[in-house]
Amino acid sequence: MTIDSVFVVLLIGHVLGDFYLQTNSIAEKKDVSYRCFVIHIMEYTISMGVVLILAIPYSNNLLFIWLSSSLLHLCVDLIKRAAKRFIKNNALKIYLENRSFIIDQVLHLCSLIAIWYFWGSNLVVRPFIEQDIIDFPDKPIVILLCFLCILRPVGILIGKGELWDFKKHNMQPVTKVQNAGKMIGYLERTIVLFFLIYQQYGAIAFILTAKSVARFKEIETSRDMAEYYLIGTLLSVVSVFILAFLLGLCSVT
């Protein structure tokens, strides 16, 4: 399975603008502060424009892609702001708040697919984007996209607990050094990704074993910690497998 390079470029622009240029402070305040909201939209628009111009030769379609991606991103974020303010049904409001990250990113992804379908499917990327690198098993740009996705986006998704309600099951993180845990997750997913794309499947087991040994005492003394650790680790590793498969970096055969 191959993925169109123009769509990959579009996704990279989105991931950079929505996750890496957006600080935690801006992400927390943009739904209540117009200043933070405007800053985020400006950062997103600029990052998307820079990525598109660097990767794709200029054309009218490229301009449409840039403007429409920024405008639709603005619309999705405005809808999210409005939903938080005007939805009065408590059950619906709680449900949306507990799934806000997933719903937000699904809407953004759908808008990018539509943009690519209407204006990007006939475009071509610059030659250096398609150029292979010796000993790389796939296009560097696809590996870059997967790498960017498994760090902050996946880390935020797991941390928010929207795939599994940690609070409901009393499985709050007990580590005192949260940044260390975040870095461990980044390293874990990065190593798993490279083992996966180079088809070193057996080596992945050693990563999981090493992590289990380091947390053995905490796991042994606390059932909640054991469940939290197991769910978090499995979500972390499975996310790498899913993204690598969707991007064509590995196959089921």
Alpha-carbon radius of gyration of the chain = 20
Residues 211 and 174 in one domain: yes
Domain containing 29 equals 5-129
pLDDT > 60? residue 171: no
Residue 197 and residue 106 share a domain:
no
Do 213 and 164 share a structural domain? yes
**SS3 (DSSP) at 46:** helix
For 48-76, what is each residue's pLDDT tens digit? 999 999 999 999 999 999 999 999 999 99
Q: Is the dihedral of CA 210, 211, 212, 218 positive or negative?
A: positive
**Do residues 62 and 91 share a domain?**
yes
Phi and psi angles of residue 237, each rounded to the nearest 5 degrees, phi first: -70, -45
Using the 3D structure, point to which of 77, 110, 129 is the last residue of a domain.
129
Q: What DSSP character marks residue 118?
A: I
In angstroms, the CA 19 to CA 157 distance is: 11
Question: How many separate domains does the chain show?
Answer: 2
Query: What is the CA 141 to chain-centroid distance, rounded?
Result: 16
54: helix, strand or coil: helix
Cα separation, 40 vs 104, whole angstroms: 15
With 50 as the cut, is the pLDDT of residue 168 above it?
A: no
Same domain, 59 and 148: no
Do 124 and 137 sit in the same domain of this protein? no
Which residue, of 105, 129, 153, is where some domain finishes? Answer: 129
Model pTM? 0.87
Burial label, 179 (beta-carbon count in 10 A; 0-12, 13-18, 19+): exposed
Helix, strand, or coil here: 61? helix
Angle at 66 between CA 60 and CA 68, to 5 degrees: 100
**CA-closest candidate to residue 104, choices 189, 4, 8, 19:** 19
Could you tell me which of 62, 80, 101, 72 has the C-alpha nearest to residue 14?
A: 72
Residues 144 and 227 in one domain: yes
Same domain, 42 and 95: yes
User: How much is the average pLDDT of 184-206?
Assistant: 88
Tell which of 101, 129, 157 closes a domain.
129
Do 163 and 85 lie in one domain? The reply is no
Q: For the residues 179-200, what does the mean pLDDT come to?
A: 86
Tell me: do 117 and 84 sit in the same domain: yes
Residue 161 one-letter amino acid: G
Q: What is the pLDDT of residues 107-162, one digit of tens each?
A: 999 999 999 999 998 899 999 888 777 777 778 899 999 999 999 999 998 888 77
pLDDT tens string 204-238: 888 878 777 766 666 667 666 667 777 888 888 99
If you search the block for the tokens 């902050």, which residue do you land on? 152
d(CA 119, CA 57): 14
For residue 99, the SS3 value is coil
Whether 33 and 93 share a structural domain: yes
CB atoms < 10 A from the CB of 217, how many?
10
My answer on whether 55 and 98 are in the same domain is yes
